[in-house]
Each structure stands twice: as structure tokens, then as C-alpha cells.
């Protein structure tokens, strides 16, 4: 609801109102992500978080606050990478994080970055995200393979 209100304000070029609502939506998304971090649910938390980060970044970019906009793009990537790497989270939760890493990385990689050190930081962050995603996909593949191998044999097909 907050995001819809913020989107409407943003579309009407009421950037201060949009910024306030996007900030509130971001707070809600962070709270949901905190619960997700502890429990692995709701699986929609990573999506809500990425949307909030990107909306806030877009709004800040419109307000010529490029450093803060870049912060939220990096924050989305960093947080999801960290969560995807947590082995104590259920596999479905880690996969939900990885699914949202792709759009987060895409937006981050499209960002124009003036300084070489920031470019290197971004490249490192993207590499960490890709490594985390690959690891989670390997674990998921192994989990499927293990389930198939551990399935009880009831009868032979005729």
C-alpha cells in the first residue's frame, strides 16, 4: 500500500512525498527481512526488500542524491548476498534471496560509477553475489539429488 502511494506521488512528481513514503516502505521491508532472517519466512521478504531499495534509489536519483541512491543499490546486493550465504536459513529462503540477487546485480551493474575504487567495490560485490548464488544452486541441486537417491523403492515397474 505504501509503495503504491509512493509510486503515485512519484508519477505526479511529488518527490518529497514519494521519498517519505518510500522511506517508510523501506523501514517495513527491513523489518520483514529481519523476521525472514530469523525464521526463513515470509518468502516474499527479499522481493519486498529489493523493490524498496530500488524505489528509494530511483527517487534519490531524481533528487540528484546519487551517492545515497548508490548506497541503496549496494545495500540490496550486500544484504541478499549475506542472507543467501547463511546455511542456517532453510534452502527455500536462500533460494528466494538468490532469485532477487539477479535484478539487484543487474541494476547495480548498470549504474554509472565515476571513481575507479567504487567500480572495483561494485565488481567485488557482484562477484560475491554470483558466488553466493552458485553455491546456493549447487546445494539445491545436491538436495534434489539426495532426495531422489533416498526415496524408498516400493515396487519395480512392470
The string of pLDDT tens digits covering residues 116-144 is 667 889 999 999 999 999 999 999 988 77
What does the alpha-carbon distance between residue 114 and residue 155 come to, in Å, rounded to a whole number? Answer: 65
Q: What is the rounded average pLDDT of the residues 15-30?
A: 97
Q: For residue 143, what is its C-alpha cell?
A: 538436495
* pTM: predicted TM-score of the whole model, two decimal places: 0.86
9 has pLDDT over 90:
yes
**pLDDT exceeds 70 at position 107:** yes
Residue 82 has pLDDT above 70, yes or no: yes
Q: Above 60 in pLDDT, residue 158? A: no
Residue 155 has pLDDT above 70, yes or no: no
More confident residue, 19 or 153: 19
Mention the CATH class of domain 2-149. mainly alpha
Residue 19: pLDDT over 70: yes
**Taking a C-beta distance cutoff of 8 angstroms, is the pair 80, 33 a contact?**
no
Amino acid at each position: 500500500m505504501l509503495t503504491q502511494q509512493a509510486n503515485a506521488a512519484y508519477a505526479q512528481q511529488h518527490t518529497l512525498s514519494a521519498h517519505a513514503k518510500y522511506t517508510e516502505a523501506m523501514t517495513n521491508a527491513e523489518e520483514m527481512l529481519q523476521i525472514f532472517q530469523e525464521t526463513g519466512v515470509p518468502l516474499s521478504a527479499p522481493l519486498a526488500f529489493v523493490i524498496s531499495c530500488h524505489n528509494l534509489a530511483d527517487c534519490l536519483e531524481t533528487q540528484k542524491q546519487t551517492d545515497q541512491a548508490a548506497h541503496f543499490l549496494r545495500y540490496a546486493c550486500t544484504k541478499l548476498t549475506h542472507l543467501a550465504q547463511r546455511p542456517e536459513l532453510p534452502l527455500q529462503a536462500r533460494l528466494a534471496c538468490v532469485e532477487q540477487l539477479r535484478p539487484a546485480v543487474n541494476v547495480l551493474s548498470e549504474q554509472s560509477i565515476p571513481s575507479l575504487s567504487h567500480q572495483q567495490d561494485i565488481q567485488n560485490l557482484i562477484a560475491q553475489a554470483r558466488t553466493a548464488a552458485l553455491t546456493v544452486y549447487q546445494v539445491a541441486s545436491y538436495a534434489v539429488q539426495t532426495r531422489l537417491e533416498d526415496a524408498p523403492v516400493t515396487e519395480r515397474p512392470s
